[in-house]
Chains A and B, each alone.
Chain A
Amino acid sequence: MSTTTGAPASGAFRVCPTTGLKVHRDADALIKANAVVATVALLVGGLAAILVLLTRWQAVHLLDEVWFYRVLTIHGMNMLIFFILFFEMAVLYFASAVLLNSRVAAPRVGWVAFALMVLGAGMVEWTMFAGKADVLFTSYVPLRAHPLFYLGVILFAVGALVVVSIFFATLVVAKNERTYEGSVPLVTFGAITAAIIAVITLVHGAAIYIPTFLWSLDLMPMDAEVYRMVWWGLGHSSQQINVAAMVAIWYLLGALTVGAVVVNEKISRTAFVLYILFISMASAHHLLVDPGFGPAWKIVNTSYFMYMAVLASMLHGFTVPAGVELGMRLRGFTQGVFGWLRRAPWGDPGFSALVLSVVVFGFVGGITGVTFGTEQINIIAHNTLRIPGHFHATVVSGTAMAFMGITYYVIPLIFRKRVAFYGMARWQPYVFAVGMLIFSMAMTFAGTFGVPRRHWDITFTNAPFDVAYSPAVDLMIGVMAVGGLLAALGGGMYILVTVWSVFFGKPLGEDCTDAALAGSVPPGVYARPFLELPEEDVAVEVHGRLGTMPGTMVLVLVFLAAFVLYYFANWKLLSFVWRVG
């Protein structure tokens, strides 16, 4: 019997071998391989993060200038490209083969793709460490890296494209072999969204890296602005892959940890489709203060045609917590407006990671992103520390945090191991998220004083003219360092827990009673997320104007208020600077 078809309403997996989720061996192995390499990239990128952080912290100023820019390149590539993408490859196998209970189409090709990606990543690593690619991850021409750097990226991208194709082929196989009934689950739908965006992204990638590779061999000319436009077609769309994958994982974590329901499939799926429709316009918000484009183009494109992708994120930002709230209310956690939140499993690292990811992504990453991506406000944000402050709250506190949370379920469900140092695992999301929150807010704040990103020495010792930032900047940089170190500690805890569990962890064993599993895997794995749903819809209490999901309604209204405040405060700030037009 397959567990997904005819699964109970909670849709939960069973972990016991007898009733267990049927994971096909190929899917299993491919997920493991990609996840392991992702973790290696995270480790390299994390060590680089500490070095970069301790250099930007002027009180320590660890690296010399050559190694600072080199290690910053290493950090960007390993984190943003290798860690995130290898992990996403694992997510694609999971959302197709595992969730649909199917075999992987063409597993051999999957291994070839994996090898290509590892080879490509290896070439990039070699050029970076050998000092032949000190160009940062954006590699804006005419800065020039060794040709193998570009070739490595191309091979890596081709490998990723092949995995995306296998994902689509697996969907077809599952459909044909009737491994599930009806339409794919929402989480798979979200993964499909991510995969479609990935195709668009990788086409942009080919459009930019192949010419740049040829340019690096002196075979063709390259225009600096055209490079920036096409490169960000890749660079930004890939962030939208991350967002789509992260939101899919939000729904997945909600289901696994508390049996969150989907309040309305239509709304959630339509919101995913909005991501696809408006994504190729996104490169614009990196080019708002560039000389290549006029105001009309900038306005239409930076807003993804009237903020339709922002609308999509705001919808998910509602439906994800609403699903958690309604799911818990249906199971009887109906006390007051926030009773469901008080009774939620805060000690489950999957659940805390979900909440922290949603909150930091929304409140810090989302609000700053939309604000800085406004055509004119970008004048007071572009290339300052506000930008890395923003994206450490999106792709790190949002996406990476969600990926970490789901790992605590992948370890028992796929690797079939207990989570090592489970007590530490319970703390890990808090340490990482709080550290990142402090780090990115301090960075954003320092950036409002105009402190540049990607800069080795903001005391400007060797510059012809002195620049002295306000003492508040020193303070903020110090706070940033403390937050960053805390986050790095959280990252280290994650790596320790996952690596230990996978390589030296105790197997789950045959005994799958609560007593045997408690304290070594997240509760969602064995204690059915708060009992099964009742067959009939129970009437849920309506809380006056706030409706059936009052807690979520309050939360999103608080969010909106913060958004409006920050947004208009930035217009105000902008109005103080020189007139320019």
Chain B
Amino acid sequence: MYTTGITPQKGVWWKPAHKSEKVWFTIAFAWCMVLFAMMPFWHLRGGQNPSGTRSRVDPAAYRTRVQEFVQQYQVATDNGIPVVAPPAGSDIYLQGQMWMWLPVLQLEEGSEYTLHLSSVDVNHGFNLYPFNINFQVVPGYDYALRVTPTEAGDFRVVCNEFCGVLHHTMVGRIIVRERGSSAVAALLGSDVDKGGDR
């Protein structure tokens, strides 16, 4: 005899399941296995994984590394923020801090870079506009992701982790130039002060 969920169960309640329940259990279980298998599968065959190389880094050391990077490759200044054009395939750095992204990166379409993300103060969020790509930027940790910009364009980095009262003003820039075009030519089209104030 059936009872409701508020009736104490006298005797044994471990009874064979209903046929419909068995059917649904089997379907649901199989679906869960698909859900599970998709993640390893995408590591093998998919192009977007959040793996990267992860290491600890002292925020002060990271700041120094970013400064060196800027000195090495700066080509211009944009809104007071240095613009760097690192060679294709190199290690590139982005520093989150209250409340800006440093520097502006100029990349080449179709080349793979190793993008290092870290923060020198609180947590920040890396969000690439208009593509919706998101990573957490955590102080003390260097998140090195291999990225390949698949198309040329003028992109933004929006901070999407609350980082204090001016959080909403924290927007950075990534310029992706067409394959084969020179760094300077790409800048002509955009509103960057070429030459800069280095």
Where the two chains meet, the residues of A that have a C-beta atom closer than 8 Å to any C-beta of B are 4-5, 7, 9-12, 65-66, 69, 99-100, 134, 136, 140, 142-143, 180-187, 190, 223-225, 228, 251-252, 254-256, 259-269, 287-295, 298-299, 302-303, 306-308, 310-311, 314-315, 318-319, 322-323, 326-327, 330, 370, 374-376, 378-384, 448-450, 452-458, 460, 462-467, 470, 533, 535-537, 547-549, 552-553, 556, 560, 563-564, 567, 571, 574-581
Residue B188 interfacial (CB < 8 Å) = no
Contacts across chains A and B counted by CB atoms under 8 Å: 366
Q: Which of A10, A180, A262 has the most CB of B within 10 A?
A: A262
Task: For B10, list chain A residues within 8 Å (CB).
Answer: 181-183
**Do B141 and A547 touch across chains, with their CB atoms under 8 A apart?**
no
Task: For A306, list chain B residues within 8 Å (CB).
Answer: 32-33, 36
Q: With A and B bound together, what is the CA distance between A306 and B40 in angstroms?
A: 12
Q: Which partner residue on chain B sits nearest A143 by CB separation?
A: B122
Task: For A455, list chain B residues within 8 Å (CB).
Answer: 160, 167-168
**Do A261 and B4 touch across chains, with their CB atoms under 8 A apart?**
yes
Q: Which of A66, A287, A314 has the most CB of B within 10 A?
A: A314
**Do A11 and B146 touch across chains, with their CB atoms under 8 A apart?**
no
**Do A180 and B8 touch across chains, with their CB atoms under 8 A apart?**
yes
Task: For A187, list chain B residues within 8 Å (CB).
Answer: 5-6
**Do B20 and A548 touch across chains, with their CB atoms under 8 A apart?**
yes
Task: For A223, list chain B residues within 8 Å (CB).
Answer: 140
Q: With A and B bound together, what is the CA distance between A567 and B39 in angstroms?
A: 12
Nearest Cβ in chain A — how far from B187, in angstroms? 15
**Do B2 and A330 touch across chains, with their CB atoms under 8 A apart?**
yes
Q: Which partner residue on chain B sits nearest A101 by CB separation?
A: B8
Question: Among the listed A99, A307, A579, which residue makes an inter-chain contact with B32, where contact means beta carbons less than 8 Å apart?
Answer: A307
**Do B165 and A310 touch across chains, with their CB atoms under 8 A apart?**
no
**Do B140 and A262 touch across chains, with their CB atoms under 8 A apart?**
no
**Do B158 and A380 touch across chains, with their CB atoms under 8 A apart?**
no
Q: With A and B bound together, what is the CA distance between A49 and B35 in angstroms?
A: 34
Question: Among the listed A100, A185, A330, A453, which residue makes an inter-chain contact with B5, where contact means beta carbons less than 8 Å apart?
Answer: A185
Comparing B64-72, B85-93, B170-178, the segment that makes contact with chain A is: B170-178
Nearest Cβ in chain A — how far from B162, in angstroms? 5
Beyond A182-B9, A580-B146, 8 extra complex contacts between A and B, CB < 8 Å: A289-B136, A291-B136, A299-B39, A311-B28, A464-B81, A465-B173, A571-B42, A579-B146
Listed by A's residue number, 14 A-B pairs whose Cβ atoms lie within 8 Å are A9-B3, A65-B168, A183-B8, A184-B9, A267-B17, A295-B43, A380-B132, A383-B127, A450-B134, A464-B79, A537-B2, A547-B23, A577-B48, A578-B128
Q: With A and B bound together, what is the CA distance between A411 and B79 in angstroms?
A: 61
**Do A291 and B138 touch across chains, with their CB atoms under 8 A apart?**
yes
Q: With A and B bound together, what is the CA distance between A574 and B135 in angstroms?
A: 14
**Do A254 and B5 touch across chains, with their CB atoms under 8 A apart?**
yes
**Do B7 and A578 touch across chains, with their CB atoms under 8 A apart?**
no
Nearest Cβ in chain A — how far from B101, in angstroms? 9
**Do B54 and A292 touch across chains, with their CB atoms under 8 A apart?**
yes
**Do B147 and A579 touch across chains, with their CB atoms under 8 A apart?**
yes
Q: With A and B bound together, what is the CA distance between A549 and B2 in angstroms?
A: 14
Q: Which partner residue on chain A sits nearest B157 by CB separation?
A: A465
**Do A322 and B5 touch across chains, with their CB atoms under 8 A apart?**
no
**Do A10 and B52 touch across chains, with their CB atoms under 8 A apart?**
no
Q: With A and B bound together, what is the CA distance between A266 and B22 in angstroms?
A: 12
Q: Which partner residue on chain A sits nearest B136 by CB separation?
A: A290
Contact A537-B1, Cβ < 8 Å, known A307-B32, A310-B35, A384-B134: yes
**Do B146 and A465 touch across chains, with their CB atoms under 8 A apart?**
no
Chain B, range 1-51, C-beta contacts under 8 Å to A? 1-11, 13-21, 23-25, 27-29, 31-33, 35-36, 38-40, 42-43, 46-51
Chain B, range 54-101, C-beta contacts under 8 Å to A? 54, 78-81, 100
**Do B32 and A383 touch across chains, with their CB atoms under 8 A apart?**
no
Task: For B52, list chain A residues within 8 Å (CB).
Answer: 291, 581
Q: With A and B bound together, what is the CA distance between A330 and B49 in angstroms?
A: 51
Contact A581-B145, Cβ < 8 Å, known A187-B6, A307-B35, A315-B25: yes
Question: Among the listed B4, B123, B133, B139, which residue makes an inter-chain contact with A262, where contact means beta carbons less than 8 Å apart?
Answer: B4
Nearest Cβ in chain B — how far from A48, in angstroms? 16
Q: With A and B bound together, what is the CA distance between A465 and B83 in angstroms?
A: 13
Q: With A and B bound together, what is the CA distance between A574 and B41 in angstroms?
A: 14
**Do A291 and B142 touch across chains, with their CB atoms under 8 A apart?**
yes
Question: Among the listed B38, B47, B123, B142, which residue makes an inter-chain contact with A579, where contact means beta carbons less than 8 Å apart?
Answer: B47
**Do B27 and A560 touch across chains, with their CB atoms under 8 A apart?**
yes
**Do B39 and A581 touch across chains, with their CB atoms under 8 A apart?**
no
